[in-house]
Structure 1
Amino acid sequence: AFVLAMTFYPEVQKKAQQEIDDVLGFHRLPEVADMDTLSYVMGVCKEALRWNPLLPSGLPHVASEDAVVQGYFIPQGTIIFGNAWVLLHDETDFGPNPDKFDPERYL
């Protein structure tokens, strides 16, 4: 997802690279302590995982008991897959344009 996003959004890549250069310079690698000062880069990483999730259908779960969800009966033992993509592209949580790659939503 990250490489795909950087291919589609070179302006995001340029801005992230500028932040890395400003914070780290050219003579060292990033450290865990740098995470707080690389806020845009962290936003890019979070947005890449949200925008194009690795497991769009989530991980399987098993209903531990009978349940009724929005009028549908789900018997105990049923394997259930959550739809991560739908949750991560919900306008209620991610604004009016959830399909847009926008790292600034995390700033």
Structure 2
Amino acid sequence: MTTDPVSPHYFVLLNRKYRGSNLFYSIAQCDADQLTRAWNAVQWLAAKDLDHAADANGFGFNKSDTTIGHRAARASLVAAHRNEMLAIVLLKLARKYRRQLPPRYLVDQPQPCQPKLDV
């Protein structure tokens, strides 16, 4: 057997510059706008959660989510768009705490209804 420096295995790399069907957003089940809104939502929730769930006041994260929520809020928006796990955490937190959020931070924005045409 010879020792060949080239591996016989092939690896598929994700090209995030490709604007077509991006695997990253498919994994996170969102698009870029939804992820940006989720990041803004977690930032807003962390700012409201000053007591880190010490009091039951109805603001911010609950006790089990406060650590991960504040860590996710410290991440930059660029990191959110590059890291699949961070994106999934941001989306899950934003969807879980949607009742506390202002309408502009809702990840799943309601689609405007199409007016019916009288024919």
Query: How high is the TM-score relative to the length of structure 2?
Result: 0.29
Q: By percentage of residues, which structure has more strand?
A: 1
Larger Rg: 2
With normalisation by structure 1, the TM-score equals: 0.31
